[in-house]
Amino acid sequence: MDIHAGIIALSILIIVAAIFAIRAALRMMQSARKLSFYSLRRMRNRNALQLFLFALFLFSCAFWLPFYGEPIVYVYFPPSLTPSVTPTITMTPTITLTPTITVPPTLTLTPSVSETPTLTLTPFLPVAIEALFQGEVTPNPDAIITALQFSTEFDGTNPIDPKTVFELPIQTMYGGFDYDKIIPGVQWTALWYHDGQLVCYETNPWNGGTGGIGGYTECTDPIGGWQPGQYEVQIFMGYEWESIGRFIVIESPDATPTFTPIPAATP
């Protein structure tokens, strides 16, 4: 039993003793009424009054001990600290989704583009695009974005029937990709080039998860509209180039154009 429990038990015993004292005082007063001698009756009443006062003193002690007596006891008998067992924290591993890279289909058609477009071998962000940055998060250097897949339809997760050659007319073009190890809030940018000219872009803080599928960029109304030629889409995380993709737009599906391969750029 500790000091606190002992004081509580002592207070309860004092209250019980006070109750017995009051009971004895009442019995003494009742017996005094039956005495015919005045001196004896007066002595009994005086004894009963003393028992009442003693009961009040006991009630006061029972009230005083828990609130004021216990701190005084701790001054002379300081409590000893009981060491507590510190639980071991078990780290829960975070499941990282591994993106699935889909190889673009082999080209069977060659576009009717006679001139070879001039493309930038080392992608970079234009100064006008950098001025639009809002994200303040430093990009993860280990972030991964897979090769882009293009389609004119998107089901909310993946492009539908992706390919690399499209024919006019086109309303909206989607570029889908898988991603991993991306920090939410980092500024990401998609640049759409047509024959080396920037015709469409989007740049926003990343609001998706750290890894998964369903990442995409879209272009609905490029500068000058959709024209035949070769298009290139560049994806940046912060100021770092992460991925690139290309597709071709032709004017007539009956034409047999010649596709000029372009060397893959190195980030």
Average pLDDT of 51-70? Answer: 84
pLDDT of residue 7: 79
Domain boundaries, the chain: 3-76, 127-250
Q: At what angle do helices 38-64 and 3-33 cross, to 10 degrees?
A: 160
Q: pLDDT of 123-133, one tens digit each?
A: 888 888 888 88
Q: pLDDT of 85-144, one tens digit each?
A: 555 555 665 666 665 565 555 555 555 544 454 444 678 888 888 888 886 778 888 899
Average pLDDT of 41-69? Answer: 85
Q: pLDDT of 230-263, one tens digit each?
A: 999 999 988 888 899 999 999 866 655 545 555 5
The domain made up of 127-250 has a fold known as: Immunoglobulin-like (2.60.40)
pLDDT of residue 96: 61
Q: Alpha-carbon distance 151 to 218, whole Å?
A: 10
Phi (first) and psi of residue 235, to 5 degrees: -110, 130
Q: pLDDT of 178-204, one tens digit each?
A: 999 898 889 999 999 999 899 999 999
Q: Quote the tokens at residue 32.
A: 């005094």
Q: Alpha-carbon distance 136 to 138, whole Å?
A: 7
Q: Position of tokens 């389609």?
A: 151
Q: pLDDT of 1-51, one tens digit each?
A: 677 788 788 889 989 988 998 888 888 888 878 777 777 878 888 888 888
pLDDT of residue 27: 86
